[in-house]
Amino acid sequence: MVSTDTATLYLHPDRNIALELVRATEAAAIRSYPWIGRGDKLAADGAAVDAMRAFLGTVNFEGVVVIGEGEKDAAPMLFNGEKVGNGRGPACDIAVDPIDGTSLTAAGRQNALSVIAVADRGTMLDASSVFYMDKIVTDASGKGVVDIRKPIGENLRALAAAKGKHVGELRVAVLNRPRHEQLIADIRAAGAGTRLISDGDVAGGINAARYESRIDMCVGIGGSPEGITTACAIKALGGFMQGVLAPKDDEERARGEAAGLDCDRVYELDDLVRSDNTFFVATGVTDGELVDGVRKKGPIIRTESIVLRGRSGTIRRVVADHLAEKWLDEGDL
């Protein structure tokens, strides 16, 4: 007979899921490797989606995709509501992005990742009906100090004081978009420096919460799916995060409200993901500050991944060597 304690544990994701998930992000990253720098982001994403979905089917859990592909990348698989896993094990919400940074991959630029996040079933905010989210992310120093409702200059001065730094020492990650022209100007007017990123919203948020990172804050409007995914990682890093949905028009606002979302609300970290029992796994596709990208070394393909566990606050790095002939076609070797 299974004890009550054992049965209770079985209902939730356990630590073994992490290494199973790494296999899925590794597979997606490796399959996208031949498409790096070749200018075809849909081909890269399609290869990654196929590989990730195949490996997710072997994982011991009952996963439901809350944050998926679908409309964003015209993908026919790993869509919102799709069931993944082998059906044996804990019931989970899952967020997937086979390539966060398809344009980065196509151009051969830095910071493309293959990403999976997992939490207890029913605990991830389903923000899929509103595509964009305004967010602010810092490490633990921002708790009780930073607030997305305050002007950026005020937040930077408060964060600098909490970190024991001068404002001029702060570095802020912002997506390089026309919508952020005033935000970027205000950050620089406050005396802080910017790190403009062309894509890779998830990596920007995680780097802002990592203690060894050169990034102190990540701000601005990015994808709401990426916001929820990032929140799972911030739980493990002990960082600070807030988000406000940013519908692009009245029609999207109405769609969000019909889905039960509040577009005027400041969503705190525990609103974005209500469980502390989270996993976040990312494998580098191209090189970045968070992890190295896929590298071919003779007959070997090397991947680097990061595994974050919310409940234990554990960060693991996984470097793996894969025999290239098992993964790539002869023309790719």
pLDDT in tens, 105-130: 999 999 999 999 999 999 999 998 99
Of the CA atoms within 13 Å of residue 280, those in its CB half-sphere come to: 29
What confidence score (pLDDT) does residue 12 get?
53
* Angstrom distance (rounded) from CA 213 to CA 209: 8
Q: For residue 202, give both structure tokens.
A: 């998830």
Chain centre to alpha carbon of residue 162: 26
On whether the CB atoms of residues 11 and 20 are closer than 8 A, the answer is no
E-assigned strand segments in 10-100: 62-67, 83-84, 91-100
Residue type, 244: V
pLDDT at 246: 97
Q: Are strands 295-297 and 314-323 parallel, antiparallel or unpaired?
A: unpaired
What integer pLDDT is reported at residue 2 of this predicted model?
Answer: 38
Give the pLDDT confidence of 36-55 residue by residue, as tens digits: 999 999 999 999 999 999 99
Provide CB contacts within 8 A for 112, sequence distance 6+: 99, 100, 101, 102, 104, 105, 199, 200, 284, 285, 286, 288, 293
Q: Give the pLDDT confidence of 237-278 residue by residue, as tens digits.
A: 999 999 999 999 999 999 999 999 999 999 999 999 999 999
What's the pLDDT band for 70 if we cut at 50, 70, 90? low
Of 27 and 14, more confident: 27
Annotated binding residues for Mn(2+): 45, 69, 97, 100, 226
The pLDDT value given to residue 16: 56
- Give the C-alpha separation, 25 to 116, whole Å: 7
Known binding-site residue numbers: 45, 69, 97, 100-102, 132, 177-179, 199-201, 223, 226
3-class DSSP state of 119: strand
Both tokens assigned to 304: 């680097």
Q: Do 204 and 71 touch, CB atoms closer than 8 A? A: no
Residue from 237, 314, 309 nearest 269 by CA: 237
Residue ranges of the binding site for substrate? 100-102, 132, 177-179, 199-201, 223
Alpha carbon distance 302, 126 (integer Å)? 34
With 50 as the cut, is the pLDDT of residue 3 above it? no
Kindly calculate the radius of gyration of the chain based on its CA atoms and give it in whole angstroms. Answer: 19
pLDDT tens for each residue of 128-163: 899 999 999 999 999 999 999 999 999 999 999 999
Q: What value does the mean pLDDT of the chain take?
A: 90
Identify the structural domains of the chain with CATH numbers, from first to last. 17-122+277-326 (3.30.540.10), 132-272 (3.40.190.90)
